Amino acid sequence: MSTGVLWVATVTPTENQLSLLRLTKRTRRWNIRLNSTSGLFVSSSLVASPSRSSEERVYDIVLKQAALVRERRIGSSRVVENLVVVPGNRNLLNEAYDRCREVCAEYAKTFYLGTLLMTPERQRAIWAIYVWCRRTDELVDGPNASYINSTALDRWEKRLTDLFEGRPFDMYDAALSDTVSKFPVDIQPFKDMIEGMRLDLRKSRYKTFDELYLYCYYVAGTVGLMSVPVVGISPNSKASTESVYNAALALGIANQLTNILRDVGEDARRGRIYLPHDELELAGISEDDIIRGIVTDKWRNFMKGQIKRARMFFDEAEKGVIELNSASRWPVWASLVLYRQILDAIEANDYNNFTKRAYVGKAKKLLSLPVAYARALVGPSKLIGTKACENLPVPSKSLPKSFEVPMKPIDA
Ligand SMILES: CC(C)=CCC/C(C)=C/CC/C(C)=C/CC/C(C)=C/[C@@H]1[C@@H](COP(=O)(O)OP(=O)(O)O)[C@]1(C)CC/C=C(\C)CC/C=C(\C)CCC=C(C)C
Ligand SMILES: [Mn+2]
């Protein structure tokens, strides 16, 4: 493959040829699509699905997750068979969480640092969720990936159901089993992440942004939905639960779009293109151009549009971070600020994401932490979204406005 060749096109597009991004409230939430007026791009989501767009379908899941948590139908009442906390088990559980901490500290150093500000119960829970996500991703991306098929993923899902029912298979599962018994975390986003891995096994091209959006939800938006019940919503928040979940989903999507844009060359070498084919076509970029890895003005312009879209998802996510519990805001801000900087790094590399890895240097990372900290000092002040729950006749005791306190003491 002729990688590393930098070719600069002589044609410079005018500003109005660059993609514009629009925020429409068609479905009560954002519908980010590339503008068709320039002739470079079309809206992909509606072209692809004559029925309901992925955004609409995913939004239904968001609503359901928010409702489940509001009604407190998940989490605290679950029966945990094998994890009845007797004195001996408490040590085992501590050890299980400790292993999760080690994995997190090893694989996600900066993020791990951020979690240290959270309450001990929350950090342990986030480590356990992190480890499960990392292991799930490793199934299809790790050293044993070539042995993984849908049957293996079915087995992994069976293990997931078991651990949610209090029958963990190993130590890491035991930590998560304990976490999901203490925090109102639902199984659906976990199942959906496995679905994303299934999709990854059978699909290597995405026709439209609508298709890509669904993939991003599966592998990353789900992380946002899993995390909110643990990081918790501030007791001072006046925002609706849905709007916070929506922001969390947006953060996952933004992170994954960023991942994709950073790894275009690497993914293409693995035979995968996670970019909307219709948008590539309209930009005049062929698959072959991507495989050959040539940076042209067409490519730069295409990338500008994609980066702009990813940033809009980050902006959407920002609105929700301020609504989170004070102690959880710092790690979330830190992860948001650091990930978003990868987009700056792609720009700094003159959009050569074929052969140059966009990364945030150590110094920049360290500088970002106090920035994130300062941002985390700002808590909820304004209303975001509609307060749908306000009109519901719910007894106040059963409606946790925040999850400041875990459902029951961790080692009780
Ligand atoms: C209101 C509001 C904004 C709340 C915040 C909600 C929240 C905490 C969201 C977290 C979002 C987040 C960190 C998403 C991760 C998205 C991601 C990068 C997914 C990656 C998928 C596959 O990627 P790919 O294979 O293409 O790339 P790699 O080369 O493999 O990287 C993942 C790798 C899936 C697995 C995800 C993880 C291992 C990360 C899991 C992280 C957590 C559970 C911690 C989140 C918590 C905090 C406090 C940031
Ligand atoms: Mn991966």
The residues, any chain, with a CB within 8 Å of residue 185's CB and separated by 6 or more, are 74, 75, 129, 179, 226, 229, 230
3-class secondary structure, 212: helix
Phi, psi angles (nearest 5°) of residue 206: -125, 120
- Which residues of 146-259 form beta strands (DSSP E)? 205-206
Q: Which of 185, 223, 322 is the best mutation target for the ligand 1 pocket, counting ligand atoms within 8 Å of the beta carbon and taking the most?
A: 223
For residue 387, report the distance from its CA to the centre of ligand 2, in Å: 36
Tell me if 129 CB under 6 Å of ligand 1: yes
Q: How many residues does the chain have?
A: 412
Distance, CA of 36 to chain centre? 28
Q: What number does the ligand 1 atom closest to the CA of 274 have?
A: 26
Tell me if 61 CB under 6 Å of ligand 1: no
Residue nearest atom 14 of ligand 1, based on CA coordinates: 252
Which two three-digit tokens encode residue 42?
A: 């079309």
Tell me if 342 CB under 6 Å of ligand 1: no
Q: What number does the ligand 1 atom closest to the CA of 132 have?
A: 38
Residue nearest atom 10 of ligand 1, based on CA coordinates: 224
What is the DSSP code (8-state) at residue 54?
Answer: H
Q: Provide the total of helices (H) and of strands (E) in the chain, helices listed first.
A: 17, 4
For residue 25, report the distance from its CA to the centre of ligand 1, in Å: 26
Which pLDDT value is given to residue 117? 83
Q: For the CA atoms of the chain, what is the radius of gyration?
A: 22
Measured distance CA(318)–CA(185) in Å, rounded: 22
Q: Which of 227, 237, 318 is the best mutation target for the ligand 1 pocket, counting ligand atoms within 8 Å of the beta carbon and taking the most?
A: 227
For residue 189, report the distance from its CA to the centre of ligand 2, in Å: 17
Which pLDDT value is given to residue 327? 87
Residue nearest atom 17 of ligand 1, based on CA coordinates: 220
Which pLDDT value is given to residue 28? 35
Measured distance CA(225)–CA(253) in Å, rounded: 11
Q: Which of 274, 268, 258 is nearest to 359 (CA)?
A: 258
Q: Are strands 273-276 and 205-206 parallel, antiparallel or unpaired?
A: parallel
Q: DSSP secondary structure string, 388-409?
A: GGGGS---GGG--S---S-SS-
Which two three-digit tokens encode residue 101?
A: 């901490």
Measured distance CA(17)–CA(35) in Å, rounded: 10
Which pLDDT value is given to residue 88? 59
The four Cα atoms 377, 122, 132, 248 give a dihedral, to 10 degrees, of -40
Ligand nearest to the CA of 274: 1
The Cα angle at residue 112 between residues 110 and 115, in degrees rounded to 5: 115
- Are the C-beta atoms of 351 and 265 separated by less than 8 Å? no
Instruction: Count CB neighbours of 8 within 10 A.
Output: 11
Distance, CA of 267 to chain centre? 19
The residues, any chain, with a CB within 8 Å of residue 290's CB and separated by 6 or more, are 264, 268, 273, 275, 280, 354
Measured distance CA(131)–CA(149) in Å, rounded: 21
Q: Mark 193-229 as b/e (b = at least 16 C-beta within 10 Å).
A: bbbbbbbbeeeeebebbbbbbbbbbbbbbbbbbbbbb
- Are the C-beta atoms of 27 and 53 separated by less than 8 Å? yes
Which two three-digit tokens encode residue 2?
A: 């002729």
Biggest CA pair distance of the chain = 72
Residue ranges, the chain, pLDDT below 70: 1-50, 72-88, 382-412
Tracing tokens 């710092």 back to the chain, one arrives at 330
Tell me if 248 CB under 6 Å of ligand 1: yes
Measured distance CA(202)–CA(86) in Å, rounded: 45
Measured distance CA(328)–CA(406) in Å, rounded: 14
Identity of the amino acid at 288:
D
- Are the C-beta atoms of 307 and 261 separated by less than 8 Å? yes
Residue nearest atom 27 of ligand 1, based on CA coordinates: 259
Which pLDDT value is given to residue 27? 36
H or E stretch at 22: strand 21-23
Q: What number does the ligand 1 atom closest to the CA of 317 have?
A: 3
Tell me if 227 CB under 6 Å of ligand 1: yes
